[in-house]
Chain A
Amino acid sequence: MALQSLDILRRSATTTPPPGVRKGVEVAKLIDVSACIGCKACQVACSEWNDIRAEVGSCVGVYDNPTDLSAQAWTVMRFAEHEEKDRLEWLIRKDGCMHCADPGCLKSCPSPGAIIQYANGIVDFHQENCIGCGYCVTGCPFNVPRISKEDSKAYKCSLCSDRVAVGQEPACVKTCPTGAIQFGSKEDMKDYAAERVADLKRRGYDQAGLYDPQGVGGTHVMYVLHHADRPELYSGLPANPSISPLVSLWKGFAKPLATLALAGVALGSLFHYVTKGPNEVSKEIEDEIEAEDKEETK
């Protein structure tokens, strides 16, 4: 049998069920922000494993480097300085695709098979089917996908779907020296997070908690935050992310409605013609004009 995936949950721009007889365990990556030291080993591991190199930039006065996600940088550390009870807190968040259970990118994508959601929860871009329209960027509630300036294809973290498929953890998880990035079944990760949250609460972070936003059906990349009540502190992590109502209208309701309406107009026209008949120039008027012409030639 050919090498192929039989564990596909959803496929972009596809209205029939994708091959999905194989049901895997739902996986998740847990990023414990409270245990991150900002070493960027995860960025390097990502770059190494996926064999992509972001352009060397210049120092902009903060640790962020590269300063943003790009087609060659699928994960970046975002450093935020926050003062809490007269203490400086360095909130370092590893940004990248959240692998939403309800992915706005996949919902928006017009190209069949350019975005795949596996049964294990990974949302993967298949660039060979990508047409470069950028609708995934429009649909994403986390501002993650980036269109390459060179090939106009969309790129983002794949959660190392190639490694996970053969039973390995993502490259960033493998390399993290402090254990701030964990990987396993979503259930296990939630249990582990609960322990971390309890520990943080004991240490005075009353609002510590797990970031697994339900507005997008939960995510397969989750954060343990010291201030789970204020996720915006972490370089603008959205408090209640969800697919924009504009995107839902555009790619939900409007699609079948407009298609039916257009079919209705086309068929309505046809049946109008066959029931009412064509609107011909009347014989009377033609005769009138002919008579007038005869009158003039006399």
Chain B
Amino acid sequence: MIRDPKDLKRYNASERANHWVVGISFILLALSGLAFFHPAFFPLTQLFGGPVWARILHPYIGVLMALAFLVIFLRFSHLNRITAADKAWLAKAKNMVDGNDHDMPEQGKYNGGQKVMFWALAMCMLLMALSGVAIWRAWFGFDITLVRLGAVVHAAAGAVMIALIMVHVYAAIWVKGTIRAMWYGTVTRAWARQHHRGWYRQMTGK
């Protein structure tokens, strides 16, 4: 596919691969986790070779996701510090959601919403990893109160995380020209100027 050589590089190949390791493991975890959470989702265990396999595999996929997420976190946390401009953006987020993004404050590589998403997901990931270890009976045997607390936290943080990822995926679908950044790494200059003008200036010097 021939692309405009003037397109802006947003993610390198390693960052993209890292993202998709997290993404794929998240999808597998959400499908198997929901199956254990509510009987309505139990048939999803068939995707994993049956319910016993789903139970065996789920925590190992969780370890993979936690490690891959940690790498993403270390790579991107410095770009996600929340600034005054982000707060101003967040205060106007309703306009953005309503479809009017003409007078949104100028944003760098990430806008306030993306940064809030980043920290919320990081917090969920931490809770998921800790509570997941607490309830992983194949390897660990913690005090029963801790296991019960772990079960509640794992379910709650899991539900929040699935909701956040739905928003994350939807935002990528909704804002046209975004998904290609995670497929082959580049975005158009027009996309960058409209959504991340600060980053656009930084990249183009304009």
Contact = CB atoms under 8 A, between A and B. Distances in A.
Given A131-B51, A278-B174, A246 B152 contact: yes
A286 B138 CA distance: 56
Contacts of A14: 39
Interface string A272-298: 110011111110011011001100000
Interface residues of B, number: 48
Interface stretch (A45-53, A59-67, A247-255): A247-255
Interface in B141-173: 144-145, 147-149, 151-152, 155-156, 159, 162-163, 166-167, 170, 173
A284 to B, nearest CB: 9
Dominant SS among interface residues on chain B: helix
B124 interface: no
A289 B55 contact: no
A246 B151 contact: yes
Contacts, number: 126
B175 interface: yes
A250 B176 contact: no
A254 B137 CA distance: 22
B35 interface: yes
Given A276-B99, A289-B189, A269 B170 contact: yes
Interface of B: 6, 35-40, 42, 45, 51-52, 54-56, 97-99, 101, 135, 137-138, 144-145, 147-149, 151-152, 155-156, 159, 162-163, 166-167, 170, 173-177, 188-191, 193-194, 206
Given A132-B137, A280-B177, 11 more contacts: A112-B42, A133-B137, A135-B151, A137-B144, A246-B152, A262-B163, A262-B166, A265-B167, A278-B174, A279-B101, A282-B194
- The 7 tightest CB contacts between A and B, nearest first, are A258-B159, A269-B170, A134-B137, A13-B39, A246-B148, A276-B99, A110-B36
27 contacts: A15-B40, A110-B36, A110-B37, A110-B39, A111-B42, A133-B36, A138-B135, A138-B148, A152-B52, A246-B145, A247-B148, A249-B152, A250-B152, A250-B155, A255-B38, A256-B38, A258-B155, A262-B163, A269-B167, A269-B170, A269-B174, A273-B170, A276-B97, A278-B175, A279-B174, A286-B190, A289-B193
